[in-house]
Structure 1
């Protein structure tokens, strides 16, 4: 180690406080980068494991392949595992008691399929031959026949078809087809199959509650594959990357296989997608967020080193006076950066990992309790994430030390010893407005002159505050908009179970309402629905329709466009709560003189041309206007005007159970009295009545309803699908608030670090002010005014820069979504308040230590 480096080490030891502050600043920066990288990797890992646990692990599906095609798939260099499967078909369940689930659904897998898909054996063993099956346990609880291991089953297995729809074969994703409250489908192309029951499995997670068949799993023998009896080949790949899409399509084309299907639900959590818009969005967002994080890290470390060099000016000048070259002085700063980095980077990485670990430990129970998630958030540390954290940290230290090092190399011996480069005074430089002294007093003027006199330290502090403001607002805006985008892409299902029926008798209606009193039900809503039509003027059409109409005027009839209208009547209790929530007049909604309603005028939908998720106006109308309600009876060729509904309010909020009508349609929420005003004898038979329930145990509640419901009532359990959507939103919320908490902590640490160090370096200055007669009260006023000047200046720069970055993030999100740009006003108000509170606290905390210093000792002091 050369003499200059030895002196650098000695100087660091002598100025322990300043060295410690610098090390802590770098540790916080490294911990932030590590935490963000680890959070991203861990979050993706959780979603991968959760998707595999519920849906199985696979990447590409080739449907209906023969032996030769299967051989080509197996021999492909990218193939790791191949699962063979086949939907053998449906057979009627003997003694079935659930009218909406009358079938057994026979699905076949090879041995690998039993490993790759979440099939949980509860009794017996898995099938080993094509004439063996395992049954789902919940079959026994829903059928009069009790099955046991060793039972022989003879089934007529076929396909679900519907008269008049000969080309379409219905699958498990299609609910039972009904018409006039009766089953309108049948099982055709039957083949007699004999099976032996060899075991029982838990209900598969992929079996939707509305699926018409109970799952029965058999074995597919590769030797039975023929031209007329193909199988589906589900492939697990060796490497998951963006090239898999083109590779799979090329393989299918070369071997004359149909278009492959991709497991996009799982692949997206590997960061792989074939959606160009989504790719652009993810790339843009990643670039913006990483840029913000790196700039924040650089600012934190740069401030520490800039203040360090400022304080070391005299030390560096002394080195120059005894012959140190520019290169040696520059390398002295770089060497200091290396020492700080060697100490701080490992500690920062450990702190980042520990912080994320504690966060995950504290939120796992909340997530599992609230949503029933089977997988846990675990800290996933990959060599790549650690290397990225180290690389970013080292780059930020190099960048942060570069400018101070260049500055250090240029300091001359005389200037450094006299500190003439630190404070350059001219009358113009420290000139203040007469307004400041007149209205705020001499203390404010001195405070402002202090800031002007110590311009570099003042700018460093303001820069730190600006970065903190930008970090907080940017992350807050990013995460809130990601949540909004996620909600836009969901179906807005806000209930667990729906029970629906056509025209009900009074007895049936009482029975339907009684389900609201079941033990686990937490919330309920009775909705009566009637679908009607109306004609809307061109000027009032949705924006998308207006574009279409401009291109093709033939879409209009007499200058108007036909809209579908979904009239939804809420019961008194739910309507009162809904009206209060959106600020509508409940009394006006129950007006007996004329029919009134609330129009849902803003809805989310997927644009079919661009593939974007859009939030837009369903209709352009105002409160007080009326809408004609027409109905087309089956025995009439023309529409009949039934009534008019006056708009009481317009909103974008949906009541529980109501789904958006989509573009070209509107939802109108009315009272039960309003619905009665609309109905006549004929229309009563067209009303659909539904009960929507939220339950603590949806599966149990469904079973209770099934036991007591009437035959014409249909139960639809959407809990599993909705649970997955809520899980995504919940995890997004964890990411949001965790990241905001992290950024807030870093911002506060950044500000305290900068201000406290700056105040410490001004001890001699404050001692001089006290020596010429400044009172403690005057000193406090000066410090307070300095805090205000810091806050105002940082907000003047920070807010516009934040808005610009937020707009860039908004433009990136618009690659996949479409909604208006809105500023996060609440977050901005928080920031304004926080800036003054944090700056004031930092100034008071730092100045409180300065007050205790002896004036004479401080004026003599060389090292801080």
Structure 2
């Protein structure tokens, strides 16, 4: 080791505080990069395992495949494993006590199917022969039919076909079909088969709650397939890459299959970062680029600040080396050596700290996931070589940049200038000049505070830069969270209830009694009764949606007297539901019960999926004002005339929809009224048909569904949306855990960074403060000066930080626009939080830092050369 490096090590040891601060700053930065990358990888690993537990482990599926094509798929270079399956059909379940689930549904798998698909064995074993089956526990629990293992079942198995309005073949996604209270379906192509029960399984996750058949699973022997037999082939691929879609389509074409026969496990592939949606891919790539850039900038800022805050002291040390003959190259190498030593200590510790911190976080999060979300899968600490390499590379690059800049500057100045720090502190009249307004508003203390900042711009800029980075990180991550929530809201189909009961048209007194009994079931936590009908209205051209205006150039004849035809969905809410909804949107509900005024709440924001562009769009349905009236018409198809029905007054325009109601599509409008106003609106036109719906939330949705089915009449239909809604809620909660965890991490690091920057800056100004006190500055004036400095720091950082943050938010927004379309909104609440937080944090940091120098002895401080 040469003499310069030895002197550098000695300098690091003698300046322990600065060295420790630099090491800690670098450790925090490396830990942040490692923690974020590990968290992302572990999150996607969790979601992959969760999706596999829900829908099975497969990537591509081919339908209608014969035996020769099965062999072709098996021999394909991309194929790792194949699973054969087949929906054998339905058989009547004799003696079932659930009249809405009268079938057994038989699905067959080969041996790989029991391994790769979510079939949970409760008792016995899986089938090993074609005449063996396992039955669902729901047969005993819900149908109240008990079978024993080893018992034989002789079934007449066939295919479901509708006999009423819908005559196509039906599968498990179709509930039991009724027409006028009678079952409107039958079994065709029936064959008699005998099975032996070898076990029981839990109700499969892929069985819809409204499915008419209890699942039983049989064995599919691929060696016994004969000519003409077709099966469904699910493929597990060797590797997941974006070309798998073109590869699968090419294989299907080579086998003579249509593109429609190829299906992808899009939910699982999404968590591998693979999608065949070009717009979604563009969204993911652009968002990833922005997020990675933010993380890198944050880490660079943190490490650079740790080095740059003590540039003055390092320059003095290098000036001393220069005075005894050190060359420019030696001085540069001295700083690079210092960075190497700091990096060698900080990077390994930072990586271990980042991984350890995430591991501890997962320990607590896993309890929350299992208890609150009901997800069986847990976070597993997943560390990849890529994340470690990225953390090391970014840290080394940042340390190099952070050391190169001061080294280059220090090597160019003379020894005397470096020792005296004339490059850091330049007292030109122009440089420290302040306006008269500053002294008038803030007094002499404020003027001194501003001059102190101006006379050492480098430290001032470093502190402001640290604050700006903290502001940008917090606001952009907050906006990213909002964007994710918005995307889930737009793509989740708007289901905000567990169970829907369709109760037909006008209800009899008996039906009303049943409805009341349903709403009072023990496990029902919330409900809404809604009457619904469709009417029309003519809307002024200047009030219609902007997309409709653009389309008028292609179809101008649709206008009638400069008015555009809208379809109007009228929703009549029961009294309790309307009061709750009115409270949510902030209006007095009493005005909406009067049948004379006929006041209505208009949902003027719609959300829909545009199939042509593939985007999820949120836009204004209508540009109207409170107090205007909306005329309602009934379309008489016999005479092809619009018959005036009634009119409503717009009492409120809102983007909030009541429980159970979906927003209208383009060219439509949701009108919310009370139940009695609804009846008054349609009273004069007997030909208007309306439907009754009940929307329920339940603490035990499946139990509630079974209870409703026991109560309801044949005219009522039950749909349980709990599973789909639960998946949406689980996804949002997991994303919230991930995002808000990241916000907490960023906030903590930012606060630590600000405290470190200001504290070190104040510490290096001990002699400056001692000088001011020596010429008569009182403790009160000193604190006023410090407080004004805090204000200047905060204002300057906000002036830079807020515009930069808004710019990055808009980049986020533009990235989301590849897949979604909604109005860009500045998060004013978050900005207010940030403004308040900046001044609180800066003031706290200044007070904390000055508390250490307030009691310093003036003479001793002035005599110090190395602080």
Under TM normalisation by the shorter chain, which class is it? over 0.9
Instruction: Answer whether contact 1:524 1:694 (CA < 8 A) is retained.
Output: yes
**Aligned equivalent of 2:666, options 649, 653, 663:** 663
Cα distance between partner residues in 2 of 1:394 and 1:766: 36
Consecutive unaligned residues of structure 2, counting only runs of 5 or more, are: none
Give the SS at the match of 1:527: strand
1:346-402 C-alpha deviation (Å, 9 max, x unpaired): 221222223222333323333333321121223221222222222222222222222
Q: How many residues align?
A: 864
Deviation at 1:418, TM superposition (A): 2.5
Measured after TM superposition, the shift of residue 687 of structure 1 is 3.0
Shift of 1:764: 0.9
Residue 127 (1) aligns with residue 127 (2): yes
Per-residue CA shift, 1:684-741, capped at 9, x if unaligned? 9933222221111112222222333333322221111100001111112112211111
Aligned-partner Cα distance in 1 for 2:764–2:66 = 80
CA distance in 2, matches of 1:539, 1:157: 60
Cα 1:88–1:447 shift into 2, 3 Å:
same
Residue correspondence of structure 1 range 473-492 to structure 2 within 5 A: 473-492=475-494
Q: Does the CA contact (< 8 Å) of 1:564 and 1:665 recur in 2?
A: yes
Decide which of 355, 358, 361 is 1:356's aligned counterpart: 358
C-alpha separation between the residues in 2 aligned to 1:519 and 1:335?
Answer: 72
Structure 2 counterpart of 1:796: 799
User: CA, structure 1 residues 638+98, in 2 after alignment: closer, same or farther (shift >3 Å)?
Assistant: farther
- Aligned match of 2:590: 587
> Is the Cα contact below 8 Å between 2:634 and 2:688 reproduced in 1?
no
Pair 633,198 (structure 1): closer, same or farther in 2 beyond 3 Å: farther
Question: Which residue of structure 2 lines up, in the alignment, with residue 600 of structure 1?
Answer: 603
Q: Relative to structure 1, is the Cα distance of residues 174 and 710 closer, same or farther in structure 2, using a 3 angstrom cutoff?
A: closer
C-alpha distance 562-193 of structure 1, shift in aligned 2 (>3 A): farther
> What is the CA distance between 1:311 and its match in structure 2?
0.9
- State whether residues 598 and 649 of structure 1, in contact with CA within 8 Å, keep that contact through their aligned partners in structure 2: yes
Contact 2:101 2:211 in 1 (8 A): yes
Query: Aligned with 1:648: secondary structure?
Result: strand
| Residue aligning to 1:854 | 857
- Farther off after superposition, 844-853 or 612-621: 612-621
Hey, what's the Cα distance between the residues in 1 that align with 2:406 and 2:162? 78
Separation (CA, whole Å) in 2 of partners of 1:295 and 1:707: 61
Give the corresponding residue for 2:173: 173
Partners of 1:757 and 1:709 lie apart in 2 by 73
Question: Do structure 1's residue 203 and structure 2's residue 203 form an aligned pair?
Answer: yes
**Aligned match of 1:310:** 312
Could you tell me which residue of structure 2 aligns to residue 575 of structure 1?
578
Residue 768 (structure 1) aligns with: 771
Structure 2 partner of 1:460: 462
The range that moved more, 616-625 or 534-543, is: 534-543
- Post-superposition shift, 1:470? 1.0
Give the one of 626, 648, 651 matched to 1:648.
Answer: 651
Pick from 278, 281, 284: which aligns with 1:279? 281
Correspondences of 1:802-821 after superposition (within 5 Å)? 802-821=805-824
TM-aligned CA deviation for residue 829 of structure 1: 0.8
Shift of residue 131 of structure 1?
1.9
User: What residue in structure 1 maps to residue 441 of structure 2?
Assistant: 439
Q: Is residue 312–residue 421 contact of structure 2 (8 Å, CA) maintained in 1?
A: no
Gaps of 5+ in 1: none
Q: Secondary structure at the match of 1:270?
A: coil
**More off after superposition, 368-377 vs 213-222:** 368-377
> 554-563 or 789-798: which moved more?
554-563
Corresponding residue of 2:30: 30
The corresponding residue for 2:296 is 294
Shift of 1:756: 0.7
Q: CA deviation at 1:97?
A: 3.1
Residues 1:507 and 2:478 are matched in the alignment: no
Q: With structure 2 as the length reference, what TM-score do the two structures score?
A: 0.96
Q: What is the RMSD computed on CA atoms of the aligned residues?
A: 2.0
Cross-structure match for 1:324: 326
Once residues 236 and 518 of structure 2 are traced to their aligned partners in structure 1, the CA distance between those partners, rounded to angstroms, is: 45
Quote the residue 1:748 is aligned against.
751
Q: Which residue is 2:238 aligned to? A: 238
* 1:88-99 alignment, distance < 5 Å: 88-99=88-99
**CA offset at residue 787 of structure 1?**
0.8
Is the Cα–Cα contact under 8 Å of residues 464 and 751 in structure 1 kept in the other structure?
Answer: yes
Whole-Å separation in 1 of the counterparts to 2:404 and 2:101: 71
What does residue range 80-229 of structure 1 map to in structure 2 within 5 Å? Answer: 80-143=80-143, 145-163=145-163, 168-229=168-229
C-alpha distance 483-684 of structure 1, shift in aligned 2 (>3 A):
same
Contact preservation (8 Å) 1:480, 1:736: no
Q: Given the alignment of the two structures, is residue 690 of structure 1 paired with residue 678 of structure 2, yes or no? A: no
Answer whether contact 1:566 1:667 (CA < 8 A) is retained: yes
Deviation at 1:308, TM superposition (A): 2.7
Q: Does structure 1 retain, via aligned residues, the 8 Å contact 2:181–2:714?
A: no
TM value normalised by structure 1? 0.96
> Contact conserved, 1:294 with 1:396, CA < 8 A, in 2?
no
Query: Which residue does the alignment assign to 1:717?
Result: 720
Q: 1:437 to 1:596 in 2, by over 3 A?
A: closer
Contact 1:499 1:714 in 2 (8 A): yes
Given that residues 161 and 170 in structure 1 are in contact (C-alpha distance below 8 angstroms), is that contact kept between their aligned partners in structure 2?
yes
Task: Check if 1:627 corresponds to 2:623.
Answer: no
Aligned to 1:372: 374
Q: Tell me, yes or no, if the aligned pair for 2:136 and 2:214 is still in contact at 8 Å.
A: yes
In structure 2, do the counterparts of structure 1 residues 118 and 815 end up closer, same or farther at CA, with 3 Å as the change threshold? Answer: same
What is the match of residue 419 of structure 2? 417
Question: Aligned partners of 2:144 and 2:6: how far apart in 1?
Answer: 89
SS of the residue corresponding to residue 108 of structure 1 reads: strand
| Counterpart residue number, 2:64 | 64
In the alignment, is the contact (CA less than 8 A) between 2:164 and 2:179 conserved in 1? no
Residues 487 and 729 of structure 1 are in contact (CA less than 8 Å); yes or no, is this contact kept in structure 2? no
Aligned-residue offset at 1:594: 3.8
Deviation at residue 243 of structure 1 after TM alignment: 1.5
